[in-house]
């Protein structure tokens, strides 16, 4: 029987690439979307055995619905990838650009969502001796990125990763990946094509590896954390070309 992975926010970008990579490795995959059904179905068509399910992971009942859908179809859950996330693009110096509601909205999806998904999946993951991978960000360490609220939410997600790794062991390993700049539709939507290209050039020039990540780079690391990494838990893996060790300019 194939192993089963649930990937939240997998209609595009890192989540989509992860679904395709895990399918290539023999996993059955649950592809989750909140709004983009058509895009999710395109991703599913690239996978050997996929189920598309709409859910807002900020709602606990919908998290439980996702897990039930996977168990109803396949009878198990071996891996959870918490990829769904959101932000608001506000320059960090613009303190008036963020409201309390902005923080709460971003934390709801970026922190509360992964917690609720991990809680809903915990019994199945323990039975399968499975894994959780949270998609964080280099912003969690550097306090950079699209906004202060986003950076703070990803730092909270790292802390959540440590806590979950402690309480879900020894059956379940829990880790996080921290990308830097990644060429995804998120960037193109926020910055426009030209702006995204400039950002990619800027970060490539800055980091030691002189290149930026593609979604497939993150998918490869996530797959390794799921399939290998037997002694790795409570870890944050930076997939950022070395951005986290680069002195600020």
CATH classification at residue 204? 3.40.50.720
Domain annotation covers residue 247:
no
Domain annotation covers residue 43:
yes
Domain annotation covers residue 179:
yes
Structural domain including 10 reads: 4-242
C-beta of residue 50 within 8 angstroms of C-beta of residue 31 = yes
What per-residue confidence (pLDDT) applies to 192?
77
What is the spatial distance between Cα 90 and Cα 95, in angstroms, rounded to a whole number?
9
What per-residue confidence (pLDDT) applies to 39?
97
Domain annotation covers residue 249:
no
Through-space distance between the first and last CA atoms of the chain, rounded to whole angstroms? 51
Domain annotation covers residue 183:
yes
What is the spatial distance between Cα 55 and Cα 62, in angstroms, rounded to a whole number?
5
203 is catalytic: no
Domain annotation covers residue 72:
yes
Q: What is the mean pLDDT of each run of 10 residues along the chain (249 residues)?
A: 95 97 98 96 98 98 98 98 96 97 98 98 98 97 94 98 98 97 75 78 87 94 97 97 81
Domain annotation covers residue 236:
yes
Number of domains in the chain: 1
What per-residue confidence (pLDDT) applies to 186?
67
Cis bond upstream, residue 235 (ω within 30): no
Domain annotation covers residue 248:
no
What is the spatial distance between Cα 76 and Cα 119, in angstroms, rounded to a whole number?
15
Annotated catalytic residue, options 150, 181, 203, 212: 150
């Amino acid at each position: 029987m194939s192993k089963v992975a649930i990937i939240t926010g997998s209609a595009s970008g890192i989540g989509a690439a992860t679904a395709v990579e895990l399918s290539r490795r023999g996993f059955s995959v649950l592809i989750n979307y909140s709004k983009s059904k058509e895009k999710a179905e395109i991703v599913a068509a690239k996978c050997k055995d996929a189920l598309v399910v709409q859910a807002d992971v900020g709602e606990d009942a919908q998290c439980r619905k996702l897990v039930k859908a996977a168990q109803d179809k396949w009878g198990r859950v071996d891996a959870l990838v918490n990829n769904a996330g959101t932000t608001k693009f506000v320059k960090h110096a613009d303190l008036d650009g963020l409201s309390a509601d902005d923080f709460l909205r971003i934390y709801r999806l970026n922190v509360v969502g992964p917690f609720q998904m991990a809680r809903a999946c915990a019994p199945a993951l323990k039975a399968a001796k499975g894994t959780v991978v949270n998609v964080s960000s280099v912003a969690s360490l550097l306090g950079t990125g699209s906004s202060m609220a986003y950076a703070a939410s990803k730092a909270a997600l790292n802390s959540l990763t440590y806590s979950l790794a402690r309480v879900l062991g020894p059956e379940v390993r829990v880790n996080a990946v921290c990308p830097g700049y990644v060429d995804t539709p998120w960037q193109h939507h926020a910055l426009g094509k030209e702006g995204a290209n400039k950002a990619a050039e800027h970060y490539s020039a800055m980091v030691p590896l002189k290149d930026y990540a593609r979604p497939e780079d993150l998918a490869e690391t996530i797959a390794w954390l799921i399939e290998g990494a037997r002694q790795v838990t409570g870890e944050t893996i930076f997939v950022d070309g070395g951005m986290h060790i680069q002195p600020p300019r």
